[in-house]
Amino acid sequence: MKVLEERQGPTWSREVVCEGRKHGRHRPGCGSRLLVEAADLTCVRDYDAHNGQQVAVFKCPLEHCGVETDLPAEAMPAWIFDSLVKGPQRGRPTYYGGGRD
Protein backbone atom coordinates (compact mmCIF):
# COMPACT_ATOMS: atom_id res chain seq x y z
CA MET A 1 0.00 0.00 0.00
CA LYS A 2 1.23 3.46 -0.80
CA VAL A 3 0.44 6.49 1.40
CA LEU A 4 -0.80 9.34 -0.77
CA GLU A 5 -1.26 11.92 1.97
CA GLU A 6 -0.52 11.46 5.65
CA ARG A 7 -2.87 13.12 8.13
CA GLN A 8 -3.12 13.31 11.87
CA GLY A 9 -6.09 11.59 13.46
CA PRO A 10 -8.74 13.50 15.37
CA THR A 11 -7.71 15.04 18.68
CA TRP A 12 -9.68 15.82 21.82
CA SER A 13 -9.25 18.35 24.62
CA ARG A 14 -11.47 19.90 27.23
CA GLU A 15 -11.24 22.89 29.53
CA VAL A 16 -11.60 21.77 33.14
CA VAL A 17 -11.08 23.11 36.64
CA CYS A 18 -8.76 21.46 39.16
CA GLU A 19 -11.28 20.43 41.83
CA GLY A 20 -9.67 17.43 43.49
CA ARG A 21 -11.63 14.39 44.57
CA LYS A 22 -14.91 15.59 46.07
CA HIS A 23 -15.40 12.89 48.67
CA GLY A 24 -13.69 11.67 51.79
CA ARG A 25 -10.67 13.32 53.29
CA HIS A 26 -8.94 14.31 50.08
CA ARG A 27 -7.32 17.68 49.62
CA PRO A 28 -9.33 20.04 47.41
CA GLY A 29 -7.94 21.22 44.09
CA CYS A 30 -6.42 24.64 43.49
CA GLY A 31 -9.21 25.87 41.19
CA SER A 32 -6.91 26.48 38.21
CA ARG A 33 -8.41 26.29 34.72
CA LEU A 34 -6.62 23.66 32.65
CA LEU A 35 -6.80 22.37 29.11
CA VAL A 36 -6.73 18.58 29.44
CA GLU A 37 -5.95 16.27 26.52
CA ALA A 38 -6.42 12.50 26.29
CA ALA A 39 -2.70 11.97 26.98
CA ASP A 40 -3.16 13.66 30.39
CA LEU A 41 -5.77 11.13 31.55
CA THR A 42 -5.68 7.65 33.04
CA CYS A 43 -8.65 5.36 33.62
CA VAL A 44 -9.22 3.96 37.13
CA ARG A 45 -11.89 1.74 38.65
CA ASP A 46 -13.05 3.65 41.72
CA TYR A 47 -14.70 1.72 44.55
CA ASP A 48 -14.23 4.61 47.01
CA ALA A 49 -16.67 7.06 45.44
CA HIS A 50 -18.08 5.69 42.20
CA ASN A 51 -19.27 2.18 43.18
CA GLY A 52 -16.67 0.47 41.03
CA GLN A 53 -17.29 2.54 37.93
CA GLN A 54 -14.41 3.53 35.74
CA VAL A 55 -13.54 7.23 35.70
CA ALA A 56 -10.89 9.27 33.93
CA VAL A 57 -8.39 10.98 36.21
CA PHE A 58 -5.94 13.83 35.65
CA LYS A 59 -3.32 15.16 38.02
CA CYS A 60 -2.91 18.92 38.31
CA PRO A 61 0.44 19.88 36.74
CA LEU A 62 1.06 22.79 39.09
CA GLU A 63 3.89 22.14 41.53
CA HIS A 64 2.04 23.59 44.55
CA CYS A 65 -1.05 21.44 43.86
CA GLY A 66 -0.66 18.04 42.20
CA VAL A 67 -4.06 16.65 43.30
CA GLU A 68 -6.15 14.29 41.18
CA THR A 69 -9.53 15.26 39.73
CA ASP A 70 -12.05 12.75 38.35
CA LEU A 71 -13.87 13.15 35.06
CA PRO A 72 -16.83 10.88 34.27
CA ALA A 73 -16.84 8.84 31.08
CA GLU A 74 -19.65 11.06 29.79
CA ALA A 75 -17.27 14.05 29.73
CA MET A 76 -15.54 12.74 26.59
CA PRO A 77 -16.24 10.72 23.46
CA ALA A 78 -16.41 6.95 24.02
CA TRP A 79 -13.47 6.32 21.67
CA ILE A 80 -11.28 8.54 23.88
CA PHE A 81 -12.40 6.94 27.15
CA ASP A 82 -11.90 3.42 25.76
CA SER A 83 -8.34 4.27 24.67
CA LEU A 84 -7.14 5.63 28.04
CA VAL A 85 -4.23 3.97 29.83
CA LYS A 86 -5.48 1.91 32.76
CA GLY A 87 -4.36 3.13 36.18
CA PRO A 88 -4.53 1.57 39.65
CA GLN A 89 -7.81 0.60 41.30
CA ARG A 90 -9.08 2.80 44.13
CA GLY A 91 -10.54 1.07 47.14
CA ARG A 92 -11.93 -2.44 47.07
CA PRO A 93 -15.30 -3.89 46.24
CA THR A 94 -17.67 -4.50 49.13
CA TYR A 95 -20.13 -7.36 48.96
CA TYR A 96 -23.07 -7.69 51.30
CA GLY A 97 -24.78 -11.06 51.71
CA GLY A 98 -25.20 -13.79 49.18
CA GLY A 99 -21.96 -15.49 50.13
CA ARG A 100 -20.67 -17.68 52.87
CA ASP A 101 -19.95 -15.90 56.12
Instruction: Give the domain ranges of the chain.
Output: 13-86
pLDDT at 100: 57
Q: What is the DSSP string of 10-77?
A: ---EEEEE-----STTPPP----EEEEEGGG-EEEEETTTSTTEEEEEEE---TT---EEEE-GGGS-
User: pTM (2 decimals)?
Assistant: 0.77
Query: Are 20 and 27 in contact, with CB atoms under 8 Å apart?
Result: yes
For the chain, residues with pLDDT lower than 50 are none
pLDDT at 96: 62
Separation of alpha carbons 76 and 45, rounded Å: 17
pLDDT at 9: 81
